Structure 1
Amino acid sequence: MNASYQTLQNRIAELENELASIRAAVRDNENHTQPHEIAGFGVDPQGNVKNEDRNWNETQARIRESEERFKVIANIAPVLIWLAGPDKLCYFFNKGWLDFTGRTMEQENGNGWAEGVHAEDYERCLQIYNTKFDARQEFSMNYRLRRFDGEYRWISDRGVPQYTESGVFLGYVGGCMDIHDQMNFAESLEKEVQNRTLQLKKSEEFLQSILNTTSNSIASYEAVYDDAGEIYDFRILYSNEETYSQYAMRFESITGRMCSEVYPEIFKKGVFEKLVKCVKTGKPDAYVTDYQNSNGTFWFDASIESNGNRVTVTARNITEELKADLQLNELNEKLKIQNSIFNHSEENANFGSFALTLATNKLECSDNLYRLVGHLPQEFTPSFDQFISFLHPGDRQRAIRDGMRALETKNLVQNDYRVITKDGSLKYLRLSGKFINEGGRQIMIGAMQDVTKDIQLNEALRLKNMELKRNNEELASFSYVASHDLQEPLRKIRAFSSRILEKQPHFSDSTKDYFNRIVSAATRMQKLIEALLSYSNTGNSEVSFVDTDLNKILEDVQTDLEDLIEEKNVTIEVSRLPVLRVIPLQFQQLLQNLISNSIKYSKPHVPPFIKIRAEMTHELEKGSSYWKISVSDNGIGFDQRYESRIFDLFQRLHGKSEFEGTGIGLAICKKIAQNHHGFMSAKGMPGEGSTFSVYLPVEMDA
C-alpha cells in the first residue's frame, strides 16, 4: 500500500478519533445533566440560558461540523471507506465505495456490503473480519468485490479499531484500494519467473546431459612425442561413462592407455591427423566417422578443441538422426511422387483444388487451379475476392451469396460458374467441397473442375432432344396420316378393283390377272402400313409393367389364332410359364408373332409342331440371370449365318411369292424384348426347324 494511501488512512483515523472524543463528551454531559434541567428546557427563572445547555448546543454543533468535515474528506478520497460500530454492523460507506459497487447506502449498511463479495472469498473474509473484530486488532485482507458492471475486482481492505480518549471501543474504520491490475501484473510476472526458471532448469539439464547422456561422449587426450619432437600417439586422460558404454569397456580399463591400443581405427580414418593438426595449430576442428561393434554400425559427429598439447573430443551419436533423416528423405520422395501424381491427375481430370482456413482467411490453391483461369502457377496471391473478379459479371452476385451461405451453414453446395480466363475465353467451372476440422481449425476444402465440354455437350443434347421431340411429333402426325389418310386410297383401290371384276365378267384372263395383282399389291401395302404402325407403337413409353401370368397371355394368343391353328392342324406343347413383370399387350404381340411365324414357315404337307417352354439361365457374357422363353418348331428352318439379319426391318429370307409377310414381325419381337430390358436369339437349320428365344432379366420376376 503506497504512502499517499497510508497518509489518507491516518487522516481518516484522526478524524474518527476526534469524532469519537466529541461523542464521548456528549455522553459525559448527558450523564451529568439533572432531570430538572432537562425539564426546564435550559432556562433559569430569570429567562437566561443555562451554562449546561449552552455547552450542549456547542457540543452538538462541533459534532455536526466534525461529521460533515469527515464526510467531505471521505467522499473525495480516491479510496473506498467504510465505518462499523461496536456491533460489527457497518453504518457508513463513502462515495467511492458506492460508486464502485453501484449500490445505495441503505443497501450496503449492516451486512449488505457482503452481498458483493465473491462466493469463493466470502467465508475467508468473514472469518478474518470476525476474529480481528473480537480481538480488537487491526487487519488487512484481499478479496474480490463485485463492481457496478458485474465484474469482480481484487481489492485490498484494511480495518483499524477506534477508541475514545478514555478507552471506550467505538468500532472500526476501513479503507480499500482496487489492486486488480497489480494482482494480474504480479501473477503474470510470477508466471514469467516460473517459465524463466523452468527454462534455466532445462538449460542446466541440457548442459548436464552433454557430459553424461546416451548420445554424447567426452574424452581428453594428451599428445605423446617421439625423439624427433613429432606426435606419434595420444594418451587417454579422461572419458565419461558414455564413451565406455559405446565401446563396451570398463571405466578404469582405458584411463592412461594409448589411443593406438584402445582406438586403433582413428589411424585408419584420418582422425589421428586431425588431432595432431589441432594440437599444432590450436584451431578447433570437426569430423564425422563410423564405429562398428557386435551391435552394428554407429555414426558419430565429433568436434575437437585443443589446450596446449591436450585435445578434448566431444562426440555425439547421430546414428538415429541419420536413420530418421533417411526415413524423412524417403517420405519426402514419396510425398513428391504423390504430389506429382496428384498434380498430373488434376491436369488429366481438368480440375484444381483449394483449402481455405477460416480463422486466418488464408487460401491455398493447387497449381492447376491457376491454369484453369489462364494463369501460371503462383502468378497471383489467391483470395476469395481475386477469384470473384474472374467470374462472369452475371455470376458474381450469385457466387458471393453462395459463399456467404456456405460460411453460415458450413455446407458447400455444388454449383457451376462462368469464368473469363486471362486470354478472354469463357469456361464453366464446377465448384464442390466440404468443411473439415483439422487441429482445432475449421478448413473449407474443395475442387473446381472445368466442365465446359460437359455444359456444351449437354446444351447440344438439349437441342438434339428438342429436335427429336419435334421429329417424334412429326412421326406421330405421320402415323395418324398413315393410319387414316394413306390407307383410305388403298381401301378404295381394292374395293373398286373388286367391283370392276364383278361387273365385267367378260374381261380377258390377262385383264383379270392385272386387276388381281392390283388388289394383291394394295393388300400388301395396307398390311405393311399396319405393320409399321405396330412397330412404331411398340416403343411407346407411356405403357406400364404389370405382374402377369404368361400362361394366361398364351391362352389369349391361342384363342386369337384358333382358326389358323385348326386350318393348319397345329399341335402346341406348352410347359408351365412363370409370372413376370411385363407389358401385357406387347408380350401378347411377341408370342403371337413367334407362333404365327412358326405356322407360316411350316413344311408343306407336314402338320406344324410348336413347343413352348421357360427356364432359368445365366448368360456368362452378360453376367446376369434371365428367364429364357423359347418357341421351337419343325418348320423349314433357316441358315444360321442369317441370325444377325433375321431381326432387322424388312429382312426376308424367302420370296414374297413363297411366303406372305412384311418382314417386320421379328423386328417387332426384338423391340419388345428390348423394352423389357432383355434380348432375343434365334437358332435354325434348313429343313429341321427353328427356335426363337426371348431373354428377360430375373429382376423382373414377380
Structure 2
Amino acid sequence: MNAETDALLKRIEALEAELDKAKLGQAAADGGDTLAYLQEMKGRFTAIADTAPVLIWLSGPDKRCYFFNKGWLNFTGRTMQEELGDGWAEGVHPDDFDRCLAIYISHFDARKEFSMDYRLRRHDGEYRWISDKGVPRYTATGVFVGYVGGCMDIHDQIMFSEQLEKKVEERTQRLRHSEQFLQSVLNTAGNSIASYEAIRNEAGKIMDFRIAYTNEDTFSKIGRDGGSIVGRTCREVYPGIFRNGVFEKLVKCIETGRPDNYQIDVRLEGELHWFDASIERLGDSVTVTARNISEELKSDLKLKDLNRQLAIQNSIFKHSEENANIGSYAWNVATNELECSDNLYRLIGHQPQEFTPSFEQFLSFLHPDDRHQAIRDGIRAYETRVIVQNTYRVITKSGEVKHFRLSGNFIREGENHLMIGALQDVTKDIELNDTLHKKNMELRRNNEELASFSYVASHDLQEPLRKIRAFSSRIMEKESQHFSDNTRDYFARIIAASARMQKLIEALLSYSGTSGINFKFVETDLNGIVDEVKSDLEELITEKQAVVEVQQLPVLPVIPVQFHQLMQNLIGNGIKYSSPDRRPEVCVTYAFTQDEPGQGPFCRISVTDNGIGFDQRYENRIFDLFQRLHGKNEYEGTGIGLAICKKIAQNHHGYIIAEGSPGIGSVFHVFIPATTQH
C-alpha cells in the first residue's frame, strides 16, 4: 500500500472524526445514536471514495461489510448487493481465504491496523494480487464503529518481483572454485563454456590462445565456416577480442590468478546478442563461461519504460487539476464547512491550506460588483438544491482579477446536503470573447460604413454627375456654334469624364453587391446562363463580328445572378480587349478535376480568347481593384470587372486563375466545387 492510499485513509478518518465532533452536541441533545450520525455521512464518503484511485470498503462493528466504492465494484464486476455482508469473500482465491480471514478476525478483535496480500477475482475471471490495508474507526468520543480499508492492485509488481528474485537467485549460484563452477555451467542450459590454452613466444609472453574445449553451443556458432572450432586459435576464430580488450583480460587472469568478468555483444545469425562472461584460470589455461543476457536486458528496458509510463501517469493524476486550471471544493450547506483542493488555493494566489476556507471567505475574494449576484445564486441554490452555473470575478492575493466559472452538484447526506463541484479559471476565454466581441463590433461598423458608402454612391454622387452630363450636353447642343474650338473640346472632355465617373460608380456598386452572405445556391443549367449572356452582348458581338463558341456545360449549384455577371465579364472582356488585326474568338469549355488530394471534385470552367493577352507576371495583379494594364484611352473599362469575377468565385467557395501571352490571348479558369457531376 503506497503513501497516497495511506493519506487517503487518514483523510477519511479525519473527516469522519471532524463531522462527528461537530454533530456530537446535537446527538446528545436529541438523544440520538452516534452510529446513526455516522450513517448520515455515507453520501459524502461515497462521493469522495468513488473518485479515489483505490478499492475502498467499509465494515461495521459486526465485521460485516456494508459499503464498497465504485473502484471495487468496477474491479470485481459485481453489484453492491452481491458484495454486501460476506458476499465479497466469494471473490477471494480459495488458497488465500483462510489466511485472510484469520488476519482479519484477529486484528478486528484487537482493534489493530492490518495489511495483507491476497488474490481477488477480477471482472474478467482472472485472480489478481491486491494489497489490502484496514484501519479501525472511532468516533470523537472513542466509540469503535468498524473498519475502513483500501486496496491496490499489485499483481504486476508481485509477478515482476518473483521473476526478479528468480534471476537474482540464478546469478548467485555461481561458484568460486573452477571445478564446481564448470560443473554448474555444464548443467545449466543456455550457457556456453570454453577452455583456452595460452600460446607463448620464446620470451614466455602470451601471444594468443588455442581453443582446447567448447560445448559447441554459442561459441561454435561464431565460427566462420560453421564447423568445429576446437584446436583453432582465438586470433582466427575471435579476432575481435584483440580490439575490445578481452584478450588483455584473459592474459591478466593467467598472470594474476584472479577471476574476472566482462560483457560483450556478438552478432549471431544476423541478430545482436549480449553475453555476461566470467574468466577463471586453470593452470596455464583460462575457462570462459558466457551467459546470454539479451532477454534480461530487454526485460530491464521494458521495466524502465513501464516505470517511466507509470511516473507520467502518476504525475498526470496528481497535477490534473493544475493542467485544467480547476480547483475542486465540497461545501456542507448545513454546517457551512468548506473543503478545497490544493490547486484551488493556488488559483487565487495562496499556498495550499494557507487559510481556513468558508463561504464567507470565498465571498471576500469576489469582486465587489459580483458579490450580490453570488449571494443571490447561493440562496437560490440552497433553496432549490440546483447549482446556478455562473462566472464570477475573483481578486487574487496579488491583486490580479481573474474570472472563475462555478459548477457542481448537490448530494444528500442524511438530513444535510453537500455541494461538490469545481471552479475553473476561464480568464483567457473571457478575454478572447471580449476581443472577438470588439472585432465583431468593428466589422459591424465597417459594414455600416460600406452600406452608407453604397447609398452615397448610388444617390448623392450619381445625381450631380447626371446633372453635369445633362447640362453639358444641352449647352453643347444649343450653344456650340458660339464656342471656340477649345471651348467645345473642354465641354466634350467634361461629358466624357462624367460618363467615365458614372461607370466607375456603377462598377463599385456592382462589386460591393457581390459581398453579401445571404445569396441562395440553386441547381442551374449553365447553358441557359451563357445563352442569356450572349443575348446581352449581342450588340457588342455584332459590332466586333466576334465568334463565341460554347461547349455543352453541366448543371451546378450556383448563385444565378452572380454567375451571370461572372460569365458576362469574362466573355465581354474577351471581345472588348481584342486585337485590331483579327476577328475576336471566345471559347467556353469545362472539365471536372480533383484540385487537391482529399478534396471534393471541382468544375473548371475555362474562357479562352485570342485578344491582346497580358504578361504572365501580372496574373495576380489583374484581379485587384482599379488595376489596368492598358491606358484608359486604348480600351474602355474601370479596372473592377476582374475583381468582381474574383469575388464571385470566392462566394462560390472556389477561385479563379489566369494565363496570358501578350499579343496571343488569355485563358481564365474558374474553379467551382461540384457536389454532383451532370
TM-score, normalised with respect to structure 2: 0.50
Larger relative contact order (C-alpha < 8 A, sep ≥ 6)? Answer: 2
Highest Rg: 1 or 2? 1
